[in-house]
Amino acid sequence: MGIVVRHTSGLGAGELGEVRRLLVGAFDGDFGAEDFEHALGGMHVLVRDGSGLVAHGSVVQRRVVHRGRALRTGYVEAVAVRADRRGRGLAGQVMAALEEVVSGAYVLGALSASEAGAGLYAARGWTRWAGRIGALSPAGPVALPEEEGSAYVWAPPGGTLPDPAEGLWFDWRDGDVL
């Protein structure tokens, strides 16, 4: 089993295609072009075995405004394990490597969890965000109440989590904002 951590710029077209195929399969086809775009531009964790790519996750930089301050946030994207390799701790290995990246480069980690993935993140010390969620859209700030309950945050060792009495305002992007 080999684990590689590499920036998007270090992945060739073949590897990016392999990642995309893994993600589309792992999410049962519910992983579109915008979802893939969100996973690019940062650090990727690739896990391979003799059969090829079996797990992936990435962390990209986002700005999250809290109490009037823009926090440099490592946003976790596209964590997936091939169906025939699930239940073997691979998602935990991917998250451990992503958390190292977040610890070394960001003041906060954040992600949006599916119901299926929420247990993994909570077990690793990620905290379900109890405050408001919004985005800084091209038209101005917009509340995202439908995202509340799915966002998780994580403070690197020695860091502190934001105060949930204040909202988190994410930078805008096409597709799902979170």
* pLDDT tens-digit readout, 107-118: 999 999 998 899
Contact at 8 Å (CB) between 39 and 78?
A: yes
Please name which of 162, 154, 69, 45 lies closest in space to residue 110, comparing C-alpha atoms: 154
Share of the chain above pLDDT 90, in %: 97
Mean pLDDT, to the nearest integer, of 77-90? 96
Residue 1 pLDDT exceeds 80: no
Q: Is residue 59, in this structure, part of any structural domain at all? A: yes
Domain of residue 87: give its range. 2-171
Confidence category of residue 98, pLDDT binned at 50, 70, 90: very high
Residue 138: its pLDDT value, please?
95
* pLDDT tens-digit readout, 117-138: 999 999 999 999 999 999 999 9
Q: Is residue 90, in this structure, part of any structural domain at all? A: yes
Q: Is residue 177, in this structure, part of any structural domain at all? A: no
Q: Is residue 176, in this structure, part of any structural domain at all? A: no
Q: Is residue 142, in this structure, part of any structural domain at all? A: yes
Residue 48: its pLDDT value, please?
97
Q: Is residue 178, in this structure, part of any structural domain at all? A: no
Rounded to an integer, what distance in angstroms lies between the CA atom of residue 128 and that of residue 118?
A: 9
pTM (2 d.p.): 0.96
Q: What burial class does residue 55 get, using C-beta atoms within 10 Å of its C-beta: 0-12 exposed, 13-18 middle, 19+ buried?
A: buried
Query: What CATH number does residue 97 fall under?
Result: 3.40.630.30
Q: Could you give the number of structural domains in the chain?
A: 1
Q: Is residue 141, in this structure, part of any structural domain at all? A: yes
Q: Is residue 57, in this structure, part of any structural domain at all? A: yes
